[in-house]
Structure 1
């Protein structure tokens, strides 16, 4: 299913791909497939009791570790995610959530079709962006590419950037196929990185989703890129970020874990 392949795909993009109206796509996605958006990603509209219990338990364990170890734990976290478009549309509350049908629907502005796509894989931590790697010409992130990236560029930059080198890395990634593949798991084992628990359909617990990409899109909104000039623009955006930028997002993880626990595992929708 297209939503499974790209959980950030928009209703308009789906309409173009399927040659049907945006209204028809919205009806199918919301009322037949029962999906909504949380932090700009499609997730099941309703979490089951089991889903909520598992989310709450995982968040509780991570919150406890954060409380026990404090900043030392948060500073050890390296997180990753992939996604950048050639064209960042005018704001239409693109990070807002698709809410329950009984809630008022947000107003949505007209969205222009994307001119193309560059995939950017970010690795970042408390101190900011560690490494960003770009794929162009319709290439995609697969397990071999992802594992090699971690074992070379990312490993070297972590070792040179941190006083502890690469001795303590708490790695937070989502459950995308390249991230959970055997090749990736073997690479993580060799690197001796501690893989933190991250559950499916939990963009509200992923700092790249609830923090990094929202700010990137906000700063680039309305810009038009006719080619891969977006790469240089993103690199310049990274260089402009203050030293406290990364820490702001990582610190919010503890708040997100606590909110998840306090809500009984429900989606966090601020």
Structure 2
């Protein structure tokens, strides 16, 4: 029997987890030495996706005993596997190419407006995890929400040192959200953005850049022509000379930071109408510190993009 200097049975547990010893041997060891301390953070567990309950059954141990061994003695942690879209080899190559371009042009971050739109659903603040009822019998109540909830579609641009411009809402004259197309994209988002950009102190519009993803309204001929007229050779998008890699929400500060930050605060107000929802969005955008926006862009530049290069374009967000 192999033991550590403090009397623990590191090798016994490690051998059993790695399949070198029978489960029954570990069970007998556990019964002989119930207070034995097994400690090493370096042991490998075969079939790490297997549940503690099934692993305990195969080892002949109580689930609570095995839980203690895994967490306290071996210092393992339970990690939730995240679901992400599939990246093709071409997707990964594009992500690396884009990351390397940014690495070669770091000064662009001080002039680049990241932009995007997002939906805010009126029923988005419902959280069933917080809907509890203590009692002696099942309560006769349920949470309800509309089958087709009202929504608000907002467009925002953000830049390090420049804060936020927006929100601009895609809606008709009655205030009802509209499906985005190229005409609405230019008229409802890009034009007012350009007008506000021209009014910003300390901003030279002839030096500013703009980024957008590859959504169809963004890459339509009319949208591209409008942008190139005002941002000649300073547009980062799917069909431009400097290409934004598709399937890369983890590299957009609006996706990995801003939308989640805003929604957490907007839904905390529990808006009851679309007008209340829009007012809450406008209020929270106005409250968002410019320094916080800058830190999100800093994180992209110094952490996420280098990670993309190191991982040859593979997913990175689950490791951050």
Question: Which deviates further from its counterpart, 172-181 or 133-142?
Answer: 133-142
1:262 aligns with 2:296: no
Rg bigger for which structure?
Answer: 2
Out of 287, 293, 300, which is 1:240 matched to?
287
SS in 2 for 1:259: helix
Answer 1 or 2: which has greater strand percent. Answer: 1
Mapped to 2, the partners of 1:166 and 1:92 lie a distance apart of 46
**Aligned in 2, Cα 1:209/1:74: closer, same or farther, shift over 3 Å?**
same
TM-score (norm 2): 0.59
Encode CA deviations 1:81-116: one digit per residue, 9 max, x unaligned.
Answer: 1112223235699xxxxxxxxxxxxxxxx9955631
Q: Indicate the residue corresponding to 1:252 in structure 2.
A: 299
CA RMSD of aligned residues (A): 2.4
Q: Is contact 1:89-1:111 (8 Å) kept?
A: no
The offset of 1:146, in angstroms, is 1.2
Q: 1:182 aligns with which of 221, 225, 244?
A: 221
Aligned counterparts, 1:97-176, within 5 A: 115-126=149-160, 127-136=162-171, 137-149=176-188, 152-176=191-215
Match of 1:53 among 61, 86, 93: 93
Structure 1 gaps, min length 5:
1-35, 94-109
The 2-side partners of 1:87 and 1:79 are apart by 27
Distance (Å, rounded) in 2 between the aligned partners of 1:190 and 1:78: 16
Given the superposition, is the C-alpha separation of residues 217 and 187 from structure 1 closer, same or farther in structure 2, using an over 3 Å criterion? Answer: same
The offset of 1:52, in angstroms, is 1.3
Q: TM-score, normalized by length of structure 1? A: 0.70
Per-residue CA deviations over 1:172-192 (Å, capped at 9, x if unaligned) read 111111100000110011102
CA offsets 1:22-74 (integer angstroms, 9 cap, x no match) = xxxxxxxxxxxxxx854xxxx33xx22222122111111112211xx3xxx21
